């Protein structure tokens, strides 16, 4: 409101004032909405109370959902950081935008939604995680995490800000919010804005804010029913991955089982590289919090399943503690918008670049087209178009975000954008329009690589999932999501599913044709850039 009812208007003669008010009213009605696109890294719906998760309370995220809409079936089309971000920016699948895996560099010369918004008069900014290697384009202001190959640091993080390298003091989640508020403070109030507010948290190695260190030390989190999955009933892909809590989670980097003295004896240790960034008083707190964990582990009586359970608890304690700061900072940002009178003029989206395994199938990490990581959180608040408390089962994908923003901004959606605007769903209380898509498409490329998740593509419909693993394997999987929501029982090839299988194979082909991924197995040999087994730190 303050944009349009400035104090100078009060000095105008009455007639002029009423004319001005009339014009202002019109301007208000036709004004393009602001957009705040909040995205975290590796946050998953199991760790959000508005999705019914039983691990943690997320009151500020819940506020967005309660005052807006929650999508139950939003899917990443390639569940990995860089690729997902490229899909979001372009509204196109990986094989079209060229960023197939985390060894890629984003071709920033291509069309993106921030560029289109900027051309249409929006003030654009990106703050926080970028992870696309090339310099951001289409932003009036950018300030991105630059340490650790753009993964960024939790403590005293490095930023690359409008072309300059700077180091900030403090905790990344808080700093990114400070920077977001600073941008909003200094913005041109005559223009709508689009701000991409991207947190590093809760990405590995899950380092909580100083105020949250040890906060869950006395909490025991419920274990997922398939924490001790033996992969019976699945194929090689599930068995041959390298992302298990049992084997892959490391004692130092992930579980933080090193004392200060041990780190100082081997300062090349990766944990030390992030520990040393903390101020001494935080290091002291860290030491006291993790001393108990280290002692417990070193008693040596944890074996087999009890060791897996124990590791799971430590993983949850750290991961969920980083989510606390994310939620608090979302609250700060919402309160700030309320204070400046822009809350209801702003489309507020909260999502994460993909979901994550929190012990399901015995795993952490992502990449697989299995539900916990393929599914993204998606909650949106915009009271001018969205009924409070609505939910949607419409099959949606991260390539839909770009056309949705363009649609709300009144910009024509370019025909080469592959996603669909979610506006018809949003303005219709979440109901799925009759002509809506039947399946989400997925294609993962990064193999051979860290975590050894085989290349695969497939579709997710309301009730089923069909997956083809390829490259050094040729295996199909199909899941009946209603009967088997945890994806424990591959029904591909089972006679009772023959009819459904035929239907899904047909739908997969049609979907690939529609999205121009018509020769996925072959094309990838050209697209993939080689063996990434040595690439760490994603
Ligand atoms: Ca991620």
pLDDT of residue 247: 97
Q: What is the mean pLDDT of residues 427-445?
A: 98
Within 10 Å of residue 473's Cβ, how many Cβ atoms?
15
- The CA-based angle 448-454-455, given to 5 degrees, is 95
The DSSP line for 357-417 is -SSGGGB-S--SSSHHHHB--EEEE-TTTS-TTEEE---EEGGGHHHHHHHHTTPPPPTT-
**What average pLDDT is seen over the chain?**
93
For residue 86, how far is its CA from the centre of ligand 1 (angstroms)?
Answer: 12
CB-based contacts of 509, cutoff 8 Å, min separation 6: none
Considering only CA atoms, give the Rg of the chain.
24
Residue 15 has pLDDT above 50, yes or no: no
Q: What is the mean pLDDT of residues 45-57?
A: 97
Q: Which two tokens stand for residue 218?
A: 């006395």
For 296-311, the pLDDT digits (tens) are: 999 989 999 999 999 9
Q: 453 and 444 in contact (C-beta within 8 Å)?
A: yes
For residue 51, how far is its CA from the centre of ligand 1 (angstroms)?
Answer: 19
At residue 531 the predicted structure's pLDDT band, cuts being 50, 70 and 90, is: low
Cα of 204 vs its chain's centroid, Å: 13
For residue 7, how far is its CA from the centre of ligand 1 (angstroms)?
Answer: 46
Q: What is the mean pLDDT of residues 437-455?
A: 96
For residue 283, how far is its CA from the centre of ligand 1 (angstroms)?
Answer: 27
Residue 95 has pLDDT above 50, yes or no: yes
For residue 41, how far is its CA from the centre of ligand 1 (angstroms)?
Answer: 4
Q: Which helix (H) or strand (E) holds 177?
A: helix 172-186
Domains and CATH numbers, the chain: 1-31 (no CATH), 36-207+321-437 (3.40.720.10), 231-313 (no CATH), 441-527 (3.30.1120.10)
Reference 533, options 103, 119, 12; nearest CA is: 103
Cα separation, 353 vs 42, whole angstroms: 6
Tell me the backbone φ, ψ of residue 160, rounded to 5 degrees: -115, 110
At residue 148 the predicted structure's pLDDT band, cuts being 50, 70 and 90, is: confident
For 356-402, the pLDDT digits (tens) are: 999 999 999 999 999 999 999 999 999 999 999 999 999 999 999 99
For residue 204, how far is its CA from the centre of ligand 1 (angstroms)?
Answer: 9
For residue 281, how far is its CA from the centre of ligand 1 (angstroms)?
Answer: 30
Residue 21 has pLDDT above 80, yes or no: no
pLDDT of residue 528: 55
**Whether the bond into 477 is cis, omega within 30 of 0:** no
For 245-264, the pLDDT digits (tens) are: 999 999 999 999 999 999 99
Q: Burial code of 100-138, b = ≥16 C-beta within 10 A, e = fewer?
A: bbbbbebeeebbbbbbbbbeeebbbbbbbbbbbeeebbb
Q: Which two tokens stand for residue 89?
A: 């920016």
For 202-220, the pLDDT digits (tens) are: 999 999 999 999 999 999 9
For residue 203, how far is its CA from the centre of ligand 1 (angstroms)?
Answer: 7
For residue 39, how far is its CA from the centre of ligand 1 (angstroms)?
Answer: 10
Q: Burial code of 10-42, b = ≥16 C-beta within 10 A, e = fewer?
A: eeeeeeeeeebeeebeeeeeeebbbbbbbbbbb
Burial class (CB in 10 A: 0-12, 13-18, 19+), 356: buried
For 486-500, the pLDDT digits (tens) are: 999 999 999 999 999
At residue 149 the predicted structure's pLDDT band, cuts being 50, 70 and 90, is: confident
């Amino acid at each position: 409101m303050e944009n349009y009812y400035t104090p100078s208007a009060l000095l105008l003669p009455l007639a002029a004032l009423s004319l001005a008010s009339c014009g202002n009213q019109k301007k208000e009605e036709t004004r393009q909405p602001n957009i705040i696109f909040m995205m975290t890294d590796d946050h998953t719906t199991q760790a959000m109370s508005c999705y019914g998760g039983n691990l943690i309370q997320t009151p500020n995220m819940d506020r967005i959902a309660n005052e807006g809409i929650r999508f139950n079936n939003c899917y990443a089309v390639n569940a990995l950081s860089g690729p997902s971000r490229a899909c979001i920016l372009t509204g196109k699948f990986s094989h079209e935008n060229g960023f197939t895996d985390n060894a890629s560099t984003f071709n920033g010369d291509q069309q993106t939604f921030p560029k289109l918004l900027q051309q249409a008069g929006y003030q654009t900014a990106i703050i926080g995680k970028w992870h696309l290697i090339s310099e951001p384009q289409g932003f009036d202001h950018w300030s991105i995490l630059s340490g650790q190959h753009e993964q960024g640091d939790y403590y005293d993080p490095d930023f690359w800000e409008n072309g300059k390298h700077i180091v900030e003091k403090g905790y990344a989640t808080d700093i990114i919010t400070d920077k977001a508020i600073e941008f909003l403070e200094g913005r041109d109030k005559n223009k709508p804005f689009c701000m991409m507010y991207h947190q590093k948290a809760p990405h590995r190695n899950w380092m909580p804010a100083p105020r949250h260190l040890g906060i869950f030390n006395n909490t025991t989190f419920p274990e997922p029913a398939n924490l001790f999955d033996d992969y019976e009933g699945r194929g090689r892909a599930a068995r041959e991955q390298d992302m298990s809590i049992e084997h892959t989670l490391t004692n130092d980097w992930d579980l933080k089982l090193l004392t200060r003295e041990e780190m100082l004896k081997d300062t090349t240790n990766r944990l030390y590289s992030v520990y040393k960034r903390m101020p001494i008083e935080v290091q002291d707190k860290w030491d006291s919090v993790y001393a108990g964990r280290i002692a417990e582990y070193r008693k040596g009586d944890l074996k087999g399943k009890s060791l897996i359970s124990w590791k799971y608890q430590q993983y949850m304690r750290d991961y969920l503690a980083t989510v606390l700061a994310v939620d608090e900072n979302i609250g700060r940002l919402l309160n700030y918008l309320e204070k400046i009178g822009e809350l209801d003029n702003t489309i507020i989206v909260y999502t994460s670049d993909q979901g994550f395994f929190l012990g399901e199938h015995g795993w952490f990490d992502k990449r697989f087209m299995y539900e916990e990581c393929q599914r993204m959180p998606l909650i949106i608040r915009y009271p001018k178009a969205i009924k409070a408390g609505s939910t949607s089962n419409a099959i949606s994908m991260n390539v839909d975000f770009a056309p949705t923003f363009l649609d709300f901004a009144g910009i024509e959606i370019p025909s080469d954008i592959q996603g669909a605007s979610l506006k018809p769903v949003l303005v219709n209380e979440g109901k799925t329009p009759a002509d809506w898509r039947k399946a989400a498409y997925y294609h993962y490329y990064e193999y051979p690589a860290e975590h050894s998740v085989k290349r695969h593509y497939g579709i997710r419909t309301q009730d089923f999932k069909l997956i083809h693993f390829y490259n050094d394997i040729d295996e199909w999987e199909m899941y009946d999501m209603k009967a088997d929501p945890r994806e424990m029982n591959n029904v591909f090839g089972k006679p009772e599913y023959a009819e459904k299988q035929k239907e899904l194979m047909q739908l997969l082909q049609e979907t690939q044709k529609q999205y121009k991924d018509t020769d996925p197995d072959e094309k990838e040999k050209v697209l993939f850039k080689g063996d990434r087994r040595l690439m760490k730190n994603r």
